[in-house]
Structure 1
Amino acid sequence: MPLLDIKNLTVEIDTGNEFVKALDKVSITVEAGEIRALVGESGSGKSLIVRAIIGAVPDHWIITADRMTWKGQNLLTMSNEQRRVIMRREIAVVFQDPTSSLDPSATLREQLEESIPSEFLDKGMFWQRNKQRREIAIGLMHKVGIKDHDSCMQRYPHEIASDIAQKFMIAMALVSEPEILIADDPTRSMESTTKNQILRLLSALNESKKLAILFVSHDLLAISSMADSMTVLYCGQTVESGKVKHLHRRPLHPYTKALLDSAPSFQINLPPKSHLVSLEGTIPTLQHLPIGCRLGPRCPSARKECVKVPEERFIQQHAYSCHFPLHLPTGNDKSSDDTEDFNLGSSEGSRQ
């Protein structure tokens, strides 16, 4: 059973005049000990998925799903108190803007020590609990790469740099030893050395603590270095999902291919000063969504059939939603490599 299992999640937002589907039948699963990346350009709905998982959406929004479970428990039907218990101990989140997620009226030391669960302390020595909290807090700050803990812990959120605030948010997220960490673009605006340090930390936690990670980002190079699997999102729709190595080597959806082609790091034989590859147009607004496949107006492979919403199909563990997928052999074009990779004869079909 997956830790997090979401099938056909739809979120409708009230714009004042009508409800629009910001997320349309999004599916994603995270297994225990897995690092899954959630990829898509800005405006695709990545952060909205995170908010839906933790329940941080307005009450008047309409949220539906075939299933949305945490270890088999239905997140949509549980009470606010039940979800708070899960969020306090089992699911941790690191948001994009760390400073706005911290209490501006409390020092970092107060916030970190207050978040340490009481059961982590020695109950037989109550007079030493403050010392124990401080030792745990210092250890967490060292773990995420904050060495000057004395200076940092006495400061308020607005007094520290954004990269230090992001590291501190990761320390706050790890304090309860969660089973899954949802990292919403945790290395955003970090310089390369700090970013690599954070990525190594997350990978080490995954290996040593079997911490599952939902890594939300548009940094394909970072994703390829640490993630096991990847889900690609475009304009609120899941377009492709599978193992990172398979999607990298042979993407089936045109949008996934466009994302990979736009990253120079993945172009081995790219000549110097080459033009970057990009799709024409921009991501549509929620008020002017195209019918059918939302990539249709920008897709180089679009045809008249694309006015219908494509069904999700599976080839082994590789899922895609496209009427005209790339790289699939047809007719007499099958090759031994295609058959070895996809085993088309029995694996393609809709997810049950």
Structure 2
Amino acid sequence: MPLLDIRNLTIELATPHGPVRALERVSLTVNAGEVHGLIGESGSGRSMLARAILGLYEPNWTITADRMMWDGQNLMDMNRQQRRSLMGEDISMIFQDPSGSFDPAFTVGQQLLEAIPPNRKLPFWRRPQERMYLAQKWLHKVGIKHPRKVLSSYPWELSEGECQKVMIAMALAKQPRLLIADEPTASMEPSTQAQIYRLLTQLNQLQNVTILLISHELDTLSNWCNRMTVLYCGQVMESGPTADLLEQPNHPYTKALLDNMPDYTNPKIHKILMPTLPGSVPALQHLPIGCRLGPRCPEARRKCVTQPLLSHYKDRYFACHFPYQSEPIEDDPLA
């Protein structure tokens, strides 16, 4: 049984121009103990999907889904208190905007210590000292050189990269079963990025933490993820094992992403124009009918005005009327 199973999730936003579907019939399956990559351009709905999993809804959201299951429990049937309890114990998230996610009136240490669960096996007079030790340990693991100084600082006294590291430490200190990392290394230098990804991999391999890694960098996700799901403009384009997806993409959008990956072995890379799809991502107020990639897709035909359902072949899922896969395709009965 998957740890997280979402089928046909649709999020409709109420806007002054009328309702728009920011996410449409999105399906996502995350198995326990895997690192699952969620890739897409800015505005594709990746962060909105993560917030829907956590239950962080906005007042103008209308959410419908065939099912949203967490370890056998239906998230749609949980009340606000149950979802909040789930966030505090089993699910943690590293947000994309770290400085805006902290309370500026409290020190970093106060907010980090609040996120560390107390050790009930220790006597109560030893628990504060233990939590302070764990706070310093996690800050050291994410690359903070002076943990004590950072613990006594306010969020507005730290750089964007330091706030990001503290947020990662805060999410990992809860020891969650599922960690949702939304662009976890966006404000860091390359050496620190590699350190953070190695730390996440160690947690996955040693403590069996399931990770949903959100990014727009395909070359980064391909190095760390077991499976990947490709989003475009609020629709799932393709999903499957990372190695198979990189070797033989079935969807034209996935192939376009692979074609855009830079070839660092070419000494003339700085002089070569990278291939791109014509056009641009449509605005939510002017979404095309059917497949939203249709106006930019090189394989688009008349049939693409109807939205394709997720098709299943072996361990691959893709939503395309004209995929590059030549073998027979069977529709996913769960889509």
Identify whether the pair has TM-score above 0.5, normalized to the shorter chain.
yes
Q: Which whole-Å CA distance do the structure 1 matches of 2:115 and 2:59 have between them?
A: 27
Q: Which residue of 1 aligns with 2:26?
A: 26
- Whether 1:104 aligns to 2:86 is no
- Whether 1:80 aligns to 2:62 is no
Q: Which residue of 2 aligns with 1:229?
A: 227
- Whether 1:297 aligns to 2:295 is yes
Q: Which residue of 2 aligns with 1:66?
A: 66
Q: Which whole-Å CA distance do the structure 2 matches of 1:121 and 1:194 have between them?
A: 34
Unpaired stretches in structure 2, ≥5 consecutive residues? none
Matches within 5 A, 1:303-314: 303-314=301-312
Q: Which residue of 2 aligns with 1:8?
A: 8
Give a deviation string over 1:219-238, Cα, whole Å, max 9, x none.
Answer: 11210111000000000000
Amino acid at match of 1:197: Q
TM-fit CA distance, 1:123:
4.4
Amino acid at match of 1:178: P
* Matched residue SS, 2:331: coil
TM-fit CA distance, 1:122:
4.2
* Matched residue SS, 2:125: helix
C-alpha contact (below 8 Å) 2:309/2:331 kept by paired residues: no
Give a deviation string over 1:98-157, Cα, whole Å, max 9, x none.
Answer: 111111111111111122223x25442x22222122111111112222131111111111
Among candidates 118, 127, 130, match of residue 128 of structure 2: 130
- Whether 1:50 aligns to 2:32 is no
Amino acid at match of 1:276: M
C-alpha contact (below 8 Å) 2:164/2:187 kept by paired residues: no
Amino acid at match of 1:307: V
Q: Which residue of 2 aligns with 1:195?
A: 193
* Matched residue SS, 1:113: helix
Q: Which residue of 2 aligns with 1:348?
A: 330
Q: Which whole-Å CA distance do the structure 1 matches of 2:241 and 2:323 have between them?
A: 17
* Matched residue SS, 1:76: helix
Amino acid at match of 1:153: L
* Matched residue SS, 1:264: coil
Q: 1:269 to 1:243 in 2, by over 3 A?
A: farther
Matches within 5 A, 1:247-266: 247-265=245-263
Calculate the aligned-residue CA RMSD, in Å.
1.5
Q: 1:3 to 1:80 in 2, by over 3 A?
A: same
Q: Which residue of 2 aligns with 1:215?
A: 213
Amino acid at match of 2:317: A
C-alpha contact (below 8 Å) 1:311/1:321 kept by paired residues: yes
Q: Which whole-Å CA distance do the structure 2 matches of 1:298 and 1:349 have between them?
A: 24
- Whether 1:95 aligns to 2:77 is no
Unpaired stretches in structure 1, ≥5 consecutive residues? 330-343
TM-score by length of 2: 0.96
TM-fit CA distance, 1:255:
0.6
Q: Which residue of 2 aligns with 1:336?
A: none
Q: 1:9 to 1:268 in 2, by over 3 A?
A: farther
TM-fit CA distance, 1:176:
1.6
Amino acid at match of 1:55: G
